[in-house]
Structures are given as C-alpha cells and as structure tokens.
Amino acid sequence: MSQAPLLADAQSSQEQRLLVIYTGGTIGMQPQANGLSPAGDFPKRLASALSQLPLRDQQMLPAYDVISYSPLIDSSAATPITWQQLAADIAERFTEHRGFVVIHGTDTLSWTAASLAYQLQGLDRPVVLTGAMAPLEAPNSDALQNLYGALRFAAHPELQEVAIYFANRLLRGTRAIKQHSEAVEAFSSPSYPLLGERIGDDFILFPSRGLSYQQRGAPRFELVDYQPVANGEVVRITLWPGIAPWQLEAWLSHPNVKGALLQLWGAGNLPDNPALLEVIAKASGEGKLIAAISQCPQGSVHMGAYAAGHGLNNAGVLSGDDMTPEAAYTKLVHVLAQPISLEDQRRRFLTTLVGER
C-alpha cells in the first residue's frame, strides 16, 4: 500500500492559500444564558486557537483565508439549497485557492459532504469538511485537533476529492456516516477504507485509495439548481415490521414526490405482501425515481437474492448497492434536479460518479 506523507513547505504555502468556510455548528458555539449558541468573530477565534498549538505544528500550518456565513447554519436545518450554496461558493473561488476546509455542524456533515462530491466532480484539489463534538474554547475539546488536521490534509495536492477529517481519520465524503451522537470518533466509513490518517505527528495520505487515481481531466462541476427538489420532493422511507401498503402509498403517490430512497431489510427484502410491490411499481411507472439500499450499515442490497425481495427489479427499483443513506439520498436529489430524461437519470444513478458505490 503506497503512502504519501504531508511535508512542510512554508514557501509554497504562501504562494496560494487555502479557503476556510465557516458555516456554523457546535465547533463555533459559546455558552449563553440559555445554553450553547452560535457565536461570531470566528476568524479571530480560529487564529487564537491555532496559536496554542506547539511551535512545530504552527510552522506546518498552510496559509489560509476565512469566510463566515451570515446567518450561521445549524446543520440540522440544512437543506439542498444549503448544499447548493456551498458548492457555488467553492466554485466561485476555486482558482484562487489550492484547497478548501468547510467547517460544519456534525449532525448533517456527511450529507453535505456527499452532496458536494456530486456537485464538484473532477476535483483537482482537496475539499475537506470538519467539525467538532464540543465548542472550540471548551476544555478538552476535539475542535482544535480536527481543524489542524483538516488544514493539513487540505494542503495536500494529491488529495483530489471531497473528504471528511475527524478524530485523526480522513474519510471519503460519499462513504462516511455519523455513527455516534457523543463520542469523539463520531464518523465512520463502513464500506470503504480510510483515505488517510494522523499517526503521531505525521499526516499520512493513501493515494491509491483516492479518486485522483481513478479519474483525470479538468473539473467538470455540475452546479444544477436544487430548488425543484428542495422542499420534500425526494423522500426517504425506512421499512418497519408491519408497514402497510396504504402507508407506503401515502408517501409515493403524493403528486409532489419525484423520487424516493427505500431502506430495505438485509440484502433487499420486503414484507411478503404483493400490495406493497404494487405501490412501488405504480410510483415507478409514473416516472418517479425509486432507489433501494439496505438498513444494515455494512453490505450491499442484492435485490432478488431472496424470495422476499423478488420483483423489485421488475418494479423499476434501482439498486443502491452498498451506498450510505447520505450518498444515495443526495445522489437522487442531484440527478433529479438535472433537466435530463428519466432514462438518463436512472443511468446516472446506477453509474459510479465519485466513488460512492
């Protein structure tokens, strides 16, 4: 397995800077009378925090600029329009910076990372998202180390995709999930190995696992308008024991719904009720994009491998293979937003675009 250590190069770091985009989240909050609340003046607070690093680490920091969103975004309130705005801001400043760090709340950080990957296809430089489980100034916070690692990896030219840096690990943006609501190691990549990691004082990138070794050429951004699918037009339905056809139909038959992500059991199983399959087939026949993944955090759907999943292919359901819910849902949003035929939308969903499946 080839490895590429991150090397200090103070002169080159001054030639072209990173851009840090602060969107909000726990990392920038401060205690108020009614609890933790978003706080401003983040560039100054970030510089102050980084100045507390050991001198050797400070010397390894790349030069950077900071922009802050106003108003700040609670990540639980993020929408496809939030994802679209972030991608547009990165694209607008793309040639001016050699890498990007997006500071984001952890609740939907992996959703934003997946969406950015689809919008910023063909990246030739890093886009690294990070956040923290505790505010920047809190005792024993993970914020400073996450920020430092994100800056270090965002300065590495061999990283050419959207990634998440958290708790010493660099994860592919379309392969990451938030698995814990409290632990410092909140994110995991259940179906793909790490892109890199911090080992002691070294930040190691594993280039053979990266997209830069799979796709070449100029960036081919797809900055489509997400407004037509930003108000609930794409739904996510996780099956439960006892789900009834009328319940599924209530979602899929709604005239506003354009697509749906179904989370099935195991390798892609439905309850033994033909009426459920009829509801799905009817929605698919109406031109709605229906995709399926497993409820299991690891493994793929293999529709038809069991009798309980037989008929899903004939009903027009698209296999999401081993995609995460975040990657599958944001991909549905992305392809449905494009002014292309239903056949092309189906084909693009089934095609690996940025290492998501």
Q: pLDDT tens digits for 99-115?
A: 999 999 999 999 999 99
Q: Is the pLDDT of residue 303 over 80?
A: no
Is the pLDDT score of 231 beyond 90? yes
pLDDT, residue 74, reads 85
pLDDT score at 13? 43
Over residues 215-243, mean pLDDT: 89
Return mean pLDDT, the chain: 90
In this predicted structure, the answer to whether residue 341 has a pLDDT above a threshold of 60 is yes
Segment among 88-102, 103-117, 291-305 with least mean pLDDT: 291-305
Please determine, for residue 86, whether its predicted confidence score (pLDDT) is greater than 50: yes
Q: Verify whether residue 106 is a known catalytic residue.
A: no
pLDDT at 169: 98
pLDDT at 286: 96
What number is the average pLDDT over the span 254-265? 97
pLDDT over threshold 90, residue 304: no
Q: What is the dihedral of CA 327, 332, 338, 339, to 10 degrees?
A: 160
Q: Please determine, for residue 134, whether its predicted confidence score (pLDDT) is greater than 70.
A: yes
Query: For position 213, what pLDDT does the model report?
Result: 46
For residue range 215-228, list pLDDT tens digits in order. 555 678 999 999 99
Three-state secondary structure call for residue 133: coil
CB atoms within 10 A of CB 43: 15
Q: List, as own/partner pairs, every contact residues 277-283 make where C-beta atoms lie below 8 angstroms and the sequence separation is at least 24, other chains included.
A: 277/311, 277/312, 277/315, 278/245, 279/245, 279/248, 279/249, 279/252, 279/253, 280/248, 280/252, 280/312, 280/315, 280/316, 280/317, 281/314, 281/315, 281/316, 282/252, 282/253, 283/252, 283/253, 283/257
Mean pLDDT over residues 339-348, rounded? 96
Tens digit of pLDDT for each residue in 8-34?
Answer: 343 344 458 999 999 999 898 877 767
Mean pLDDT of 197-223: 83
Beta carbons within 8 Å of 186's beta carbon, 6+ residues apart: 106, 133, 166, 167, 178, 179, 180
pLDDT band at 168 (very low <50, low <70, confident <90, very high): very high
How confident is the model at residue 309, as a pLDDT? 59
271 pLDDT band, cuts 50/70/90, is confident
Q: Label residue 6 by pLDDT band (50, 70, 90).
A: very low
The active-site residue, picked from 23, 26, 112, 330, is: 26
Q: How far apart are CA 345 and CA 318, in angstroms?
A: 11
Average pLDDT on 157-185 reads 95
Q: Please give the share of the chain, as a percent, with pLDDT higher than 90.
A: 78
